[in-house]
């Protein structure tokens, strides 16, 4: 086992070495960056000086060239001198010599008389001399290199390959060497004795140590050299250990001598590492020294050595700021003590049994804690990373001491006192560090709070335990408010949340379960916790925030968390004390109270809690109350529970709409709409549960009308959309359920009455949409059109299901006439289009059902048996009655555009030609041979007369066309196959009809021209 302990020590050395190499690498990078920065500054200064010198030389040459330009004086003075402007010479920006121009007049020199007047000199002509322009000014110096660019370049130069070669390879190589020698010392070798192997191992250790000492002064090999030094000391310590503890290399017979030698090697390593200020070597020395204590069997020596090592380690770490080594040291101190303690307890029956060295072990653990805690309090970390590692040391220190004290304890009753005392000490140290080091205060106050909270369960039980936790949490919160310490407020809130979790975990079977003896006490505890949390959130925090004049925002997160926990506790407490279906009623009232208080106090937290409680009530209603079987009459508790929650939803919706100025826009618009959607959905579900399936569609369409009216009055799209949903559900249920049920004879056909009720509801819904003035025209067009289409389809479907087969065409024709009349009252393209489509459906039905059997099957007895003629001519008559209505509709312009606009503007055409098609198809079913010719001719003449009365050219042409069809049949068919008498009669009759038509054309020619 000891060999594996040493191997773990080597691994710990690698960890410490990693921290040391990183710090060394960071220091070298900072030095390289500083050198590069200084070099850049020097180079920039040299360039700037050079450019300034060049600029001075160029300026001097330019001034000299300007002085060489001479101008001769004037030969005579003009009698009258006029002031002229003096123009300074302009340097020509070129280095070439200018070409010599022809003779020009020299520039006059302005002279001043004694009186101060300016006179113009006489111009003197001379040869222009070559002028050499001054040298141009040098360009501005380029900006100096930015130091950050050089830093980036320096960092880029250190590639992954270099890091691997300089840092990791030597570390891995040294580790392998140490492991190889360790395994070589542990196993038997026949040709080399114990002394030889010890000498060989010491030789390797000296080579590594000496090579590291020789290379360490050279900066290029410093990292490599320190790895060799650490490996040499480690191998030397391992070899010294093997002189007694490895059977294959045992050359000493006294364990005490070997332990003294091991301690001496460790001291030498510490002294040597402090000389070079190397965390790697020092860490390895202390780790190996701790391992010596671990493998020692001398109890007094072990306890004393552990304390000395811990004190020395903490002193070195605080002085040198080696936080990585301190972490390893804390782990090593408590880990070695655990290994020693485990060996000792094994001799006395294991953990939980008394042993003689309990007092010494406890004192040593407290000494460990005091040493590491003192070092944590006195140090002053210089960076955030160092402060974080130091805080980790503090946490590990507390975890180590409490874990080992629990492991060796055999008096559980002492745990309360120990935790309470240690927590009080930690809190005292925290407040002592509050003004000196803020992070230390945060760490220590957190540790102290945890210890004080953890002490309670070791002494108190039952409901007293969470009540005391509530007091502790409240104390922390009050201290945080008074001292304005957010951390303490959060700790108090966390303690309260811990109470809530503990109550639910330990007494969860009481919440929602049967009443027990502890139910009242548990519910009271929940209410007390809720009162404390709401007091913190809504009274204490606000009272402290407002007088100080600062915003409540620093408290917002803590207070909202506390308030939500209070609402949760209240819900749980009510769940315990309120039985049966009334629980959802009480929860709904609680939600309304929270929302109302939140609106009045402008507290979003309370309002959100109200929304959450209402959501919980809805979930319970759906899962528990509404899933239970209902009872008939007004004693149905399921119905009353649903109505109470639905009323709460509606009340909350109205309150949010009324208090829109006191709440967020998202609440007045979004939350209120969501609540209203919940109310409407709940209403539909209640109707589903309580109303018979045959009448459910009618109930839902009534709910849709109510919701539409609410949307109209509130000028809100939300209730309207809910009404659309209820209406859609009604239509789906009617088609899927009612229409699938069988018909009943007489007036008791529920399918018929349900359909009539839904159709009436659709019509009322259509009227309501028309009154919704705030609705966008597109919504009015789409929804209104869809509703009317659904109503028309329902009526057509009801007629199809309720009327006999031969009378369906007549029923559709009557419905088309009704729609045409409705279009007169309320003109609209939708109503016209539906009437015309029904007219086309009547033609299709009459041709395929009423006339097809007679025309193609030869059923001569169809008419008398099924009242076929009556049904057929009823349909024709109703369509004929719609023709004059179509003329009235044509006079009324369409109020809106429609894709069937051209057809809708002339509805009489569709009605007329529907009658024309039915009668033209009826004639072959009723007449044959020459009688058919007479029938078509007579119908054509009749249609022609109707056209003359109506003044419609299309009617006239259709009648004339049918008349000509009769003529064509006479000439093509009848003249060859009829008897002589019938043939003569047909010719005379058709001829008379043609003469009559011609006479009418002649008589009303002028009138007909107006219709053309």
Residue range 331-369, pLDDT digits in tens: 888 887 888 788 888 878 788 778 887 888 888 889 889
Name the DSSP letter for residue 98.
P
3-class DSSP state of 121? strand
Neighbours of 789 (CB within 10 A): 15
In a domain, residue 853? The reply is yes
Phi, psi at 550, each rounded to 5°: -105, 160
Distance in angstroms (rounded) separating the CA atoms of residues 110 and 794: 111
User: What is the full DSSP assignment across 424-479?
Assistant: HHHHHHHHHHTTT-HHHHHHHHHHHHHHHHHHGGGT--TTHHHHHHHHHHHHHHHH
Which segments of 695-735 does DSSP mark as H helices, in order?
696-714, 717-733
Q: pLDDT confidence of 508, banded at 50, 70, 90?
A: low
**Claim to verify: residue 666 and residue 706 sit in the same structural domain:** no
Distance in angstroms (rounded) separating the CA atoms of residues 188 and 196: 12
- pLDDT of 898 > 60? The answer is no
In a domain, residue 204? The reply is no
Neighbours of 780 (CB within 10 A): 16
Whether 490 and 558 have beta carbons less than 8 Å apart is answered as yes
In a domain, residue 847? The reply is yes
Distance in angstroms (rounded) separating the CA atoms of residues 132 and 92: 8
Whether 702 and 761 have beta carbons less than 8 Å apart is answered as yes
In a domain, residue 154? The reply is no
Neighbours of 403 (CB within 10 A): 13
In sequence order, the 6+-apart residues with CB closer than 8 A to the CB of 454 are 419, 423
Distance in angstroms (rounded) separating the CA atoms of residues 237 and 230: 11
Phi, psi at 118, each rounded to 5°: -95, 135
3-class DSSP state of 218? coil
Which helix H or strand E contains 111, and what residues bound it?
strand 111-112
**Claim to verify: residue 762 and residue 719 sit in the same structural domain:** yes
**Claim to verify: residue 679 and residue 701 sit in the same structural domain:** no
In a domain, residue 747? The reply is yes
Tokens of 492: 């108090």
Whether 792 and 782 have beta carbons less than 8 Å apart is answered as no
**Claim to verify: residue 595 and residue 677 sit in the same structural domain:** yes
In a domain, residue 857? The reply is yes
In sequence order, the 6+-apart residues with CB closer than 8 A to the CB of 205 are 232, 233, 235, 236, 239
Distance in angstroms (rounded) separating the CA atoms of residues 434 and 864: 111
**Claim to verify: residue 674 and residue 650 sit in the same structural domain:** yes
Nearest to 788 by CA among 826, 824, 842: 826
Segment 399-422 shows an average pLDDT of 87
Rg (CA), the chain: 54
Domain endpoint, select from 780, 811, 836: 780
User: What phi-psi label fits residue 97: left (phi over 0), alpha (psi between -120 and 50 degrees) or beta?
Assistant: beta
pLDDT score at 701: 92
Total of domains in the chain: 3
Phi, psi at 860, each rounded to 5°: -75, -15
Distance separating the N- and C-terminal Cα atoms of the chain: 120
Whether 816 and 838 have beta carbons less than 8 Å apart is answered as yes
- pLDDT of 85 > 60? The answer is no
Enclosing domain of residue 623: 579-690
User: What phi-psi label fits residue 125: left (phi over 0), alpha (psi between -120 and 50 degrees) or beta?
Assistant: beta
**Claim to verify: residue 654 and residue 726 sit in the same structural domain:** no
Tokens of 832: 């016209």
What is the Cα 633 distance to its own chain's centre?
47
Which of 122-136, 199-213, 289-303, 667-681 is the least confident region?
Answer: 122-136
Q: What is the pLDDT of residues 368-410, one digit of tens each?
A: 899 888 988 888 888 888 888 888 989 999 999 999 888 888 8
Nearest to 923 by CA among 914, 934, 913, 932: 932
Averaged confidence pLDDT in the chain: 74
Of the two residues 471 and 142, the one the predictor is more confident about is 471
- pLDDT of 282 > 80? The answer is no
Sequence-separated contacts (24+) of 547-556 with Cβ below 8 Å: 554/486, 555/489
Q: pLDDT confidence of 515, banded at 50, 70, 90?
A: low
- pLDDT of 745 > 60? The answer is no
pLDDT score at 558: 62
Neighbours of 537 (CB within 10 A): 27
Whether 704 and 783 have beta carbons less than 8 Å apart is answered as no
Q: pLDDT confidence of 987, banded at 50, 70, 90?
A: low
**Claim to verify: residue 681 and residue 716 sit in the same structural domain:** no
pLDDT score at 986: 63
**Claim to verify: residue 809 and residue 896 sit in the same structural domain:** yes
**Claim to verify: residue 700 and residue 672 sit in the same structural domain:** no
**Claim to verify: residue 619 and residue 699 sit in the same structural domain:** no
**Claim to verify: residue 669 and residue 704 sit in the same structural domain:** no
Nearest to 595 by CA among 662, 641, 507: 662
Distance in angstroms (rounded) separating the CA atoms of residues 677 and 969: 69
Distance in angstroms (rounded) separating the CA atoms of residues 375 and 313: 10
Q: What is the pLDDT of residues 922-970, one digit of tens each?
A: 888 877 777 777 788 888 888 878 877 777 778 778 887 887 887 777 7
Tokens of 613: 């409680």
Sequence-separated contacts (24+) of 326-330 with Cβ below 8 Å: 326/372, 326/375, 326/389, 326/390, 326/393, 327/389, 327/392, 327/393, 327/396, 328/12, 328/15, 328/16, 328/283, 328/287, 329/283, 329/286, 329/290, 330/372, 330/393, 330/396, 330/397, 330/400
Domain endpoint, select from 631, 666, 690: 690
- pLDDT of 735 > 50? The answer is yes
Q: Angle between the 464-483 and 438-455 helix axes, to the nearest 10 degrees? A: 160
In a domain, residue 411? The reply is no
Distance in angstroms (rounded) separating the CA atoms of residues 652 and 668: 10
- Give Cα separations from 368 to 62, 304, 341, 442 (angstroms): 83, 12, 15, 22
| CB-neighbour burial class of residue 635 (10 A; exposed 0-12, middle 13-18, buried 19+) | exposed
pLDDT score at 46: 81
pLDDT score at 151: 41
Whether 503 and 526 have beta carbons less than 8 Å apart is answered as yes
How does strand 118-119 pair with strand 104-105? unpaired
This prediction's pTM: 0.58
Of the two residues 409 and 92, the one the predictor is more confident about is 409
E strand spans, 113-201: 118-119, 125-126
**Claim to verify: residue 606 and residue 671 sit in the same structural domain:** yes
Tokens of 410: 């055999």
Max Cα–Cα distance, the chain, nearest Å: 156
Segment 985-1009 shows an average pLDDT of 63
In a domain, residue 592? The reply is yes
Distance in angstroms (rounded) separating the CA atoms of residues 763 and 792: 10
pLDDT score at 923: 84
Which helix H or strand E contains 104, and what residues bound it?
strand 104-105
Which of 334-348, 423-437, 552-566 is the least confident region?
Answer: 552-566
Domain endpoint, select from 850, 884, 917: 917
Q: Angle between the 808-825 and 829-845 helix axes, to the nearest 10 degrees? A: 160
């Amino acid at each position: 086992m000891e060999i594996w302990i040493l191997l773990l020590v080597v691994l710990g050395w690698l960890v410490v070495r990693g921290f040391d190499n990183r710090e060394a690498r960071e220091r070298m990078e900072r030095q390289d960056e500083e050198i590069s920065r200084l070099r850049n500054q020097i180079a920039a200064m040299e360039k700037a000086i050079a450019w300034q010198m060049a600029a001075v030389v160029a300026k001097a040459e330019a001034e000299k060239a300007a002085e060489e330009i001479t101008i001769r004086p004037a030969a005579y003075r003009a009698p009258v001198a006029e002031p002229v402007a003096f123009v300074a010479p302009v340097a020509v920006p070129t280095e070439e010599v200018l070409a010599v121009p022809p003779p020009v007049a020299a520039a006059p020199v302005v002279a001043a008389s004694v009186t101060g007047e300016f006179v113009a000199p006489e111009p003197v002509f001379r040869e222009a001399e070559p002028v050499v322009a001054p040298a141009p000014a040098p360009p501005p110096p380029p900006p100096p290199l930015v130091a950050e660019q050089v830093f980036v370049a320096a960092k880029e130069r250190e590639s992954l390959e270099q890091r691997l070669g300089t840092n990791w390879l030597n570390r891995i190589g040294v580790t392998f060497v140490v492991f190889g020698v360790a395994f070589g010392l542990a196993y038997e070798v026949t040709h080399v004795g114990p002394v030889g192997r010890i000498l060989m191992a010491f030789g390797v250790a000296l080579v590594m140590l000496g090579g590291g000492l020789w290379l360490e002064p050279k900066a290029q090999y410093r990292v490599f050299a320190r790895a060799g030094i650490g490996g040499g000391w480690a191998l030397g310590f391992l070899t010294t250990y093997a002189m007694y503890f490895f059977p294959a290399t045992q050359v000493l017979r006294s364990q005490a001598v070997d332990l003294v030698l091991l301690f001496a090697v460790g001291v030498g390593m510490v002294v040597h590492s402090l000389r070079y200020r190397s965390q790697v070597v020092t860490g390895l020395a202390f780790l190996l020294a701790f391992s010596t204590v671990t493998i020692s069997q001398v109890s007094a020596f072990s306890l004393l050595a552990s304390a000395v090592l811990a004190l020395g380690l903490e002193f070195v770490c605080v002085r040198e700021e080696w936080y990585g080594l301190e972490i390893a040291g804390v782990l090593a101190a408590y880990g070695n003590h655990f290994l020693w303690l485990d060996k000792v307890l094994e001799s006395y029956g294991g953990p939980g049994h008394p042993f003689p060295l309990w007092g010494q072990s406890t004192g040593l653990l407290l000494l460990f804690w005091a040493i590491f805690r003192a070092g944590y309090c006195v140090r002053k970390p210089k960076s955030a990373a160092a402060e974080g590692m130091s805080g980790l040391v503090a946490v590990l220190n507390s975890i180590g001491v409490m874990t080992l004290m629990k492991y060796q304890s055999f008096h559980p009753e002492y745990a309360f006192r120990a935790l309470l005392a240690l927590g009080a000490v930690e809190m005292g140290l925290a407040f002592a560090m509050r003004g000196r080091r803020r992070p230390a205060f945060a760490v220590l106050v957190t540790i102290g709070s945890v210890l004080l909270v953890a002490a309670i369960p070791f002494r108190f039980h039952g409901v007293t335990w969470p009540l005391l936790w509530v007091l502790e949490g409240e104390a922390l919160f009050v201290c945080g408010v008074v001292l304005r310490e957010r951390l303490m407020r959060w700790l108090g809130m966390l303690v309260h949340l811990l109470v809530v979790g503990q109550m639910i975990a330990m007494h969860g079977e009481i919440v929602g379960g049967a009443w027990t003896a502890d139910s009242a006490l548990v519910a009271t505890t929940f209410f007390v916790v809720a009162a404390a949390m709401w007091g913190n959130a809504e009274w204490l925090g606000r009272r402290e925030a407002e007088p100080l004049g600062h915003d409540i925002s620093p408290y917002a997160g803590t207070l909202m968390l506390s308030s939500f926990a209070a609402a949760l506790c209240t819900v749980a407490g009510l769940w315990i004390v309120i039985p049966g279906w009334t629980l959802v009623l009480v929860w709904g009232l609680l939600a309304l109270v929270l929302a109302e208080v939140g609106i009045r106090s402008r507290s979003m937290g309370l309002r959100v809690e109200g929304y959450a409680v209402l959501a919980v009530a809805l979930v319970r209603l759906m899962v528990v109350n509404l899933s239970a079987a209902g009872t008939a009459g007004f004693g149905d508790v399921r119905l009353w529970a649903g109505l109470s929650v639905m009323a709460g939803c509606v009340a909350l919706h109205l309150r949010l709409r009324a208090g829109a100025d006191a709440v967020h826009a998202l609440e007045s618009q979004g939350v209120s709409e969501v609540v209203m959607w919940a109310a409407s959905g709940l209403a539909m579900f209640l109707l589903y549960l309580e109303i018979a399936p045959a009448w459910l569609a009618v109930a839902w369409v009534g709910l849709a009308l109510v919701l539409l009216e609410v949307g109209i009055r509130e000028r809100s799209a939300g209730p309207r959309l809910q009404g659309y949903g209820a209406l859609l559900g009604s239509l789906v249920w009617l088609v899927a359920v009612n229409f699938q049920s069988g018909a009943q004879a007489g007036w008791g056909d529920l399918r018929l009455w349900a359909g009539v009720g839904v159709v009436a509801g659709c019509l009322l819904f259509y009227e309501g949409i028309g009154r919704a003035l705030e609705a966008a025209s597109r919504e009015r067009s789409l929804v209104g059109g869809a509703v009317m289409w659904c109503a028309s389809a329902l009526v057509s479907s009801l007629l199809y299901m309720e009327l006999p087969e031969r009378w369906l065409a007549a029923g559709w024709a009557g419905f088309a006439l009704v729609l045409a009349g409705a279009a007169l009252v309320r003109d609209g393209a939708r109503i016209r289009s539906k009437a015309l489509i029904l007219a086309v459906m009547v033609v299709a039905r009459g041709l395929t059902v009423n006339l097809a059997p007679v025309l193609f099957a030869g059923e001569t007895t169809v008419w008398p048996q099924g009242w076929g003629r009556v049904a057929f001519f009823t349909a024709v008559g109703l369509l004929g009655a719609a023709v004059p209505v179509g003329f009235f509709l044509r006079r009324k312009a369409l109020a809106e555009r429609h894709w069937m606009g051209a057809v809708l503007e002339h509805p009489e055409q569709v009605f007329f030609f529907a009658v024309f098609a039915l009668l033209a198809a009826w004639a072959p079913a009723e007449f044959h041979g020459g009688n058919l010719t007479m029938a078509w001719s007579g119908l054509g003449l009749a249609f022609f007369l109707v056209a003359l009365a109506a003044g419609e050219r299309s009617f006239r042409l259709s009648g004339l066309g049918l008349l000509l069809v009769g003529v064509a049949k006479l000439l093509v068919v009848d003249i060859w196959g009829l008897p002589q008498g019938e043939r003569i009669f047909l010719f005379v009759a058709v001829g008379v009809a043609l003469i009559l038509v011609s006479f009418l054309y002649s008589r009303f020619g002028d009138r007909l021209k107006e219709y053309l």
